[in-house]
């Protein structure tokens, strides 16, 4: 069964009677006129369709728990949707924790993850009732225990481990191989366990956490990840008589950015994980644990598009044609950072024949600010609305104010209605943290 992560476009995408691209019942040209561009657009139906696919795919494993990886796209509205869909939240900063709590999210259903959590972040996490902390290293073990002790609290923790599994993704988004900044090496687990047992009495270890990467198209790596974790759980039980009841397998399921991408479905990954869990639980004579997964990109990526307005163009003699738009690397860093590729259409010309090869250039003062290289589109005119699909994950999350350009707005579309979920930044907001020293005002 296909799932929405295997599609390039949001599930509600169509060409309407005006000849324009429509998503969530909203004409993209009308959205551009109403909210201006650049503009992030999120299709609520696609988000909810994918969350329902995850729940349905894992329904035969009652101990499965879903945690949305907030780093993909985090707003108060997303927190509301995830709460309504029965998902927890995987959080990795004080800002994400604050956003979740201020949206009214049940903080007992959250996990705090990350390789260098600060004292202030851990302190706030405990004050706001974080559900579980995934501890990444020895420094954090000691720090978290000290904070918990000062508050007379016991904190549920997972140990994050590096399982030594590499997936075939860009090297910057591989997180499970041995040479990684994340987690305890398997050779360090005994030392960590002995510290928790003998000294860090305010930490309650409930399980292990591993994450093997992002934009994964392979099933076998998930089977192998479960194998590594169960082997470690069995070893810990035999050596320390500690029975761990939870495992967190991370996220990482890929999505379809272009026709060349061949991601597996949510049902395929679910069948692989469930089969591996049950096989290894029987093999090692271990009770089936509670299993957490943390999808992020696969939930929100396909649901999001970004639209731009075409501006100036340049034809290099005997070379490329560059078409500039009113956004770029500050609202979507992935092409510059990962050489990421996208599917692109002209929202007001979806039925016109592609006739020219163009390179879509951003407006920022970097030669590397290229959003799409050598793609074939209909002839572009100034004022055309250019639509990039599959920008829902890591577009806004990685955005910046480079060149002091304002961050775009984001809207949620559903059944012909659009709602602002992030206001467009104003110049006053851009400067509100700036301070001129008094000595310069004399």
Q: How buried is residue 433: exposed, middle or buried, by Cβ count under 10 Å (0-12/13-18/19+)?
A: exposed
Q: Annotate 93-108 with b (16+ C-beta within 10 A) or e (fewer).
A: bbebbebbbebebebe
φ and ψ of 424, to 5 deg? -65, 135
- Given a contact cutoff of 8 angstroms between Cβ atoms, the answer to whether 138 and 125 are in contact is no
Nearest to 8 by CA among 345, 272, 441: 345
* CA 241 remoteness from chain centre: 36
Question: Which sign, positive or negative, has the C-alpha torsion 187, 193, 199, 202?
Answer: positive
383 Cβ neighbours under 8 A, 6+ residues apart: 309, 310
**DSSP state at residue 216:** B
- Given a contact cutoff of 8 angstroms between Cβ atoms, the answer to whether 331 and 7 are in contact is no
270 Cβ neighbours under 8 A, 6+ residues apart: 54, 57, 58, 61
**DSSP state at residue 201:** T
Task: Name the active-site residue from 79, 365, 387, 431.
Answer: 365
Is 387 in the active site?
A: no
Angle at the Cα of 243 (from 240 to 249), degrees rounded to 5? 115
* CA atoms in the 13 A half-sphere facing the CB of 348: 17
φ and ψ of 422, to 5 deg? -140, 120
Question: Which sign, positive or negative, has the C-alpha torsion 74, 75, 77, 79?
Answer: positive
φ and ψ of 70, to 5 deg? -65, -25
Q: How buried is residue 180: exposed, middle or buried, by Cβ count under 10 Å (0-12/13-18/19+)?
A: middle
Catalytic positions: 365
């Amino acid at each position: 069964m296909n799932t929405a992560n295997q599609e390039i476009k949001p599930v509600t995408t169509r060409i309407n009677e005006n000849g324009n691209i429509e998503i969530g019942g909203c004409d993209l040209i009308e959205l551009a006129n109403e909210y201006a561009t650049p503009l992030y657009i999120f299709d609520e139906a696609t988000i909810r369709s994918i969350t329902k696919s995850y729940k349905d795919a894992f329904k035969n494993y009652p101990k499965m728990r879903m945690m949305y990886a907030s780093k993909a796209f985090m707003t108060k509205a997303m927190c509301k949707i995830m709460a309504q869909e029965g998902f927890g939240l995987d959080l990795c900063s004080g800002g994400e924790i604050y956003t979740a709590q201020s949206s009214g999210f049940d903080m007992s259903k959250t996990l705090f993850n990350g390789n260098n959590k600060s004292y202030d972040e851990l302190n706030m996490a405990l004050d706001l009732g974080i559900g579980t902390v995934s501890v990444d290293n020895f420094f954090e073990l000691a720090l978290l225990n000290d904070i918990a002790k000062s508050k007379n609290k016991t904190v549920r923790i997972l140990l994050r481990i590096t399982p030594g599994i590499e997936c075939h993704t860009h090297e910057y988004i591989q997180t499970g191989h041995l040479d990684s900044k994340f987690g305890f090496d398997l050779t360090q687990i005994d030392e960590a366990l002995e510290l928790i047992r003998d000294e860090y009495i305010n930490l309650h270890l409930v399980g292990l956490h591993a994450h093997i990467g992002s934009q994964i198209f392979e099933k076998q790596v998930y089977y192998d990840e479960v194998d590594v974790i169960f082997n470690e759980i069995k070893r810990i039980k035999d050596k320390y008589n500690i029975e761990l009841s939870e495992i967190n397998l991370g996220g990482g399921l890929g999505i379809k950015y272009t026709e060349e991408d061949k991601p597996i479905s949510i049902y395929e990954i679910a069948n692989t994980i469930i089969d591996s869990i049950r096989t290894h639980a029987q093999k090692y004579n271990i009770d089936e644990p509670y299993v957490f997964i943390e999808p992020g990109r696969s939930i929100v990526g396909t649901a999001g598009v970004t639209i731009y307005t075409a501006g100036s163009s340049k034809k290099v003699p005997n070379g490329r044609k560059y078409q500039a738009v009113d956004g770029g690397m500050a609202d979507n860093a992935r092409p510059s950072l990962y050489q990421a590729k996208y599917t692109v259409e002209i929202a007001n010309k979806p039925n016109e024949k592609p006739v020219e090869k163009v390179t879509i250039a951003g407006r920022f003062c970097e030669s590397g600010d290229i959003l799409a290289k050598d793609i074939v589109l209909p002839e572009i005119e100034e004022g055309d609305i250019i639509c990039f699909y599959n920008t829902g994950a890591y577009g806004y999350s990685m955005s910046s104010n480079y060149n002091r350009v304002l961050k775009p707005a984001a809207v949620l579309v559903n059944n012909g209605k659009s709602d602002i979920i992030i206001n467009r930044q104003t110049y006053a907001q851009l400067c509100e943290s700036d301070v001129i020293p008094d000595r310069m005002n004399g």
